[in-house]
Amino acid sequence: MSGLRLPAIVLEFVAQQLIKPVPLQRTGWRDIWQSIKAKGWADIPMMEALFEAFDDRLYKMNLIELAKALELPLEYVFYRPRYKRSEPSGTIHMSAVNVAGLAIYLEHFGFNMLVQPLVNDLLPAIRRLQQLTVAELCIYQYASDRQRTRFLLRSAQQSTPPSHPDEEKRLHTPNGYCVQITTNDSRTQKIEISGPKWKLPKPKVEVNCDICGTSYFSGDPDEEGGHRRYHKQILSVLQPKPERRLLADNAGPSIIRITANSPLWMHQAIYDRARAFKREMGFDFVQWTLTKNLRDRDANADGYLFISPEGTIEGACSFRSEAKENTICWSLDWVWIRPEKRRQGIVESHWPRFLATYGDFWVEHPISDAMMSFLLEHASHQQRIAMEIHASEGIDGR
């Protein structure tokens, strides 16, 4: 349920008008709307004429106060002066988009508005936008929200404690809206308005996904959709399918070196594994640069993809070079193997190649317990000495 606070005079007007019989719509609304759409703006008299043509019960509705309560902006619009030094004259106007947004709200409140033609005229341009105002959002969601909303309208003014029990009046409008008006001491306290297709929403329950580690609320389409996309992305790394491009191009190699000149899809593959490593270790950033521009790629980084005979990517690692005293020194930034394939000798089988290519490279800290156990068994003599010096300096290597 959406709650809104309206000025007391507007709330009282809405209650009184909803009780009245619904009049027939006038035929002149189309010309008025075409004029508003062409200009892009409508002054207050033009807005009143349009809404009264839709529903005569809106005669003398305080549109300015209603627009302010709904956060639909009104602006001073000036006629362009003939001479630059002339004093311009302006009046309060509302944009065509906001006029349509206000009409949608009035329909949600139970008034007999003809909104669909307004939406049809404005929606194509709104679909191209990435960021939406309140009115643009109303127009964008109109098809899914129409007759499915529920509003609770209350007075924005503080009222004195009532001296009598509340009185409730229920009614159904000809267009199917259910209205419940609560009064006390002849003053309207609140109005509940439910569309004919409104249904009690499913309760939102927080769900923690054990696979991707995401928390989301079930019953929320946006959160559920976001989780599905992220979950699919995580599964593509944890439970990868054979990569046809690897089999076609390399006849099923066991390892592939990734440099700055490698194809973008390979950079994406190693980036996804670097992100999995970051998530698992709780680090703050991903230790691989992903960009389409070759010039922006990290020329000091070498990456490797570990490939199964079937062509699935089982993991990845990354080395980085650094110049020290006119010497190029290499370090192992990170290594990540998907959980199902760990402790199966994947890194061990390529360790001699890494030592031959990068020498006695440094292993970046912190080091996981599993990696520490591996290094104690497979590290070179110089690597062991470096690890002992590092530990003797009182730096926690784990």
Q: Give yes or no: residues 98 and 225 share one domain.
A: no
Q: Give yes or no: residues 7 and 151 share one domain.
A: yes
> What value does the mean pLDDT take over residues 156-182?
84
3-state secondary structure of 181: strand
Task: Specify if 9 maps to a domain.
Answer: yes
Averaged pLDDT score across all residues of the chain: 89
Question: Does pLDDT of 252 surpass 50?
Answer: no
Q: Give yes or no: residues 255 and 133 share one domain.
A: no
Q: Give yes or no: residues 163 and 68 share one domain.
A: yes
Q: Give yes or no: residues 222 and 265 share one domain.
A: no
pLDDT of the residue at 164: 74
Q: Give yes or no: residues 107 and 176 share one domain.
A: yes
**What is the CATH classification number for the domain harbouring 330?**
3.40.630.30
pLDDT tens per residue across span 322-351: 887 778 889 999 999 999 999 999 999 999
pLDDT of the residue at 253: 56
Choosing from 213, 236, 259, the residue where a domain stops is 236
Task: Specify if 13 maps to a domain.
Answer: yes
Task: Specify if 397 maps to a domain.
Answer: no
> HEC string of 105-170?
HHHHCCCCCCCHHHHHHHHHHHCCCCCCCHHHHHHHCHHHHCCCCEEEEEECCCCCCCCCCCEEEE
- Mean pLDDT lowest for which of 173-182, 228-237, 272-281, 387-396? 387-396
In 219-300, which ranges are E strands?
A: 255-258
Question: Does pLDDT of 29 surpass 60?
Answer: yes
Torsion of CA 206, 195, 58, 36, to 10 degrees: 70
Task: Specify if 114 maps to a domain.
Answer: yes
> What value does the mean pLDDT take over residues 188-214?
88
pLDDT of the residue at 2: 78
Residue 80 · residue 62 · CB < 8 Å: no
Residue 8 · residue 157 · CB < 8 Å: yes
3-state secondary structure of 55: coil
Residue 309 · residue 253 · CB < 8 Å: no
Q: Give yes or no: residues 259 and 225 share one domain.
A: no
Cis-peptide into 366, omega within 30 deg = yes
Alpha-carbon gap, residue 150 to 110, rounded angstroms: 10
Q: Give yes or no: residues 312 and 378 share one domain.
A: yes
Q: Tell me how many domains the chain contains.
A: 3
| pTM of the predicted protein model | 0.62
Alpha-carbon gap, residue 77 to 79, rounded angstroms: 7
Q: Which of 177, 97, 197 is nearest to 137 (CA)?
A: 97
User: If residue 337 lies in a helix (H) or strand (E), which one and from where to where?
Assistant: strand 327-337
Alpha-carbon gap, residue 269 to 244, rounded angstroms: 13
Q: For the chain, what's the residue count?
A: 398
Task: Specify if 199 maps to a domain.
Answer: no
Task: Specify if 141 maps to a domain.
Answer: yes
| pLDDT band for position 1 (cuts 50, 70, 90) | low
Alpha-carbon gap, residue 381 to 379, rounded angstroms: 7
Q: Give yes or no: residues 209 and 290 share one domain.
A: no
Amino acid at residue number 214: T
Alpha-carbon gap, residue 284 to 336, rounded angstroms: 16
Q: When comparing pLDDT for 192 and 254, which is higher?
A: 192
Task: Specify if 365 maps to a domain.
Answer: yes
Domain that holds residue 100: 2-194
Question: Does pLDDT of 396 surpass 70?
Answer: no
Amino acid at residue number 368: S
Q: Which CA distances in Å does 291 have to 238, 261, 267, 299? A: 23, 11, 8, 12
Q: Give yes or no: residues 155 and 52 share one domain.
A: yes
The structure tokens listed for 329 are 């020194």
Q: Give yes or no: residues 165 and 218 share one domain.
A: no
Q: Give yes or no: residues 253 and 299 share one domain.
A: yes
Highest averaged pLDDT of the listed ranges 38-47, 162-171, 214-223? 38-47
Q: Which of 334, 333, 387, 381 is nearest to 359 (CA)?
A: 381
Task: Specify if 95 maps to a domain.
Answer: yes
Residue 367 · residue 375 · CB < 8 Å: yes
